[in-house]
Amino acid sequence: MTVVPSRVVVVTGANVGIGLETAAGLAAVGATTVLACRNPVKAESAAADVRARASSDDVHTVALDLADLASVRACARELEARFEHIDVLVNNAGGILQEQGRTAQGFEKTFGVNYLGPFLLTNLLLERLVRSAEGSGDGRVVNVASVAHHWAKLDWDDLQTTRRYRPFKAYGRSKLADILFTRALAARLAGTAVTANALHPGNVRSGFGMDGDLRGYRGLGVKIYRPAEISPAAGARTSIYLASSAEMAGKSGGYYVRCKPGHPSRRARSHEDAARLWRESERLVADAGFPIP
């Protein structure tokens, strides 16, 4: 009898909110689930929660700080060392910052955490994803974006929004970048068994913007709107669907809302911008000492 190995799924930012619910949902359907998180203590606590809820011991953690590309590279290396195959990568981690910050390599922090870190992580794991899919016939990259991309436009002269920084402006641009990255990645993966799709999870009642990241009227607005938002479990449904549903096999380059094709903005559909952003992102990480293999 041939033993079919469990699919290995990596979920970033899985210690809280929709990341935690995504990990729990995928573990419940039998996946070997890896929680990639910045805080190891919170990661272990979340992993214990997932194990209990999914009735599975096949839940693991790995350190990942998307604000430090050295941590991103170390995470990729550890994943490749510990897991013979990697079938699904869910780039879930992200956030919004009241004040402009900097990553370890000096990138604007919203851009670095929400986009550039996931860009590097995905590329570092891409060979393993493609090779794993040759055996399984089904590898997937899932990028959590946002409807906020509709109000965003990339400024090629200030891609990281370092001038006149505004939290929601920087956030929207980073999510537009995530969708353009998904489009470019899908094109590059054509001819392989790996797909790439993006999604808007909905307005989720989670820790987003609530840990002191937003203050003043912005923080107050988030708190006031909180009761109208959906639960993290509901917000995770589209991520789980894209990562595991048989209906998504072979479908690539899309943007999904509520488990259905959504309507990305005109700017998010630009092949030219997607290709340009990829080239610029390669240059940025290479100049920081982390070239794409």
Buried b (16+ CB within 10 A) or exposed e, 9-25: bbbbbbbbbbbbbbbbb
Kindly state whether residue 39 falls inside one of the protein's structural domains: yes
> pLDDT for 19-66, tens place per residue?
999 999 999 999 999 999 999 999 999 999 999 999 999 999 999 999
Kindly state whether residue 3 falls inside one of the protein's structural domains: no
| % of the chain at pLDDT higher than 90 | 87
> pLDDT for 262-283, tens place per residue?
999 999 999 999 999 999 999 9
- Assess contact for 204 and 183: CB atoms under 8 A: no
pLDDT of residue 53: 97
Active-site residue, 255 included: no
Kindly state whether residue 292 falls inside one of the protein's structural domains: no
pLDDT of residue 203: 84
Range of the domain at 16: 8-287
The residue length of the chain stands at 293
What is the number of domains present in the chain? 1
Query: Is the predicted pLDDT of residue 223 greater than 70, yes or no?
Result: no
Mean pLDDT of the region 92-108: 96
> pLDDT for 116-166, tens place per residue?
999 999 999 999 999 999 999 999 999 999 999 999 999 999 999 999 999
Calculate the average pLDDT of the chain.
Answer: 92
Kindly state whether residue 293 falls inside one of the protein's structural domains: no
Query: Is the predicted pLDDT of residue 216 greater than 60, yes or no?
Result: no
| Catalytically annotated residue among 115, 171, 241, 256 | 171
Kindly state whether residue 32 falls inside one of the protein's structural domains: yes
Residue 116 DSSP code: I
Kindly state whether residue 187 falls inside one of the protein's structural domains: yes
| % of the chain at pLDDT higher than 70 | 90
pLDDT of residue 116: 98
Kindly state whether residue 111 falls inside one of the protein's structural domains: yes
pLDDT of residue 230: 83
pLDDT of residue 6: 86
Alpha helices, DSSP H, located in the chain: 17-28, 40-54, 69-82, 109-111, 117-136, 167-188, 216-225, 232-244, 271-287
CATH code for the domain of 60: 3.40.50.720
Kindly state whether residue 269 falls inside one of the protein's structural domains: yes
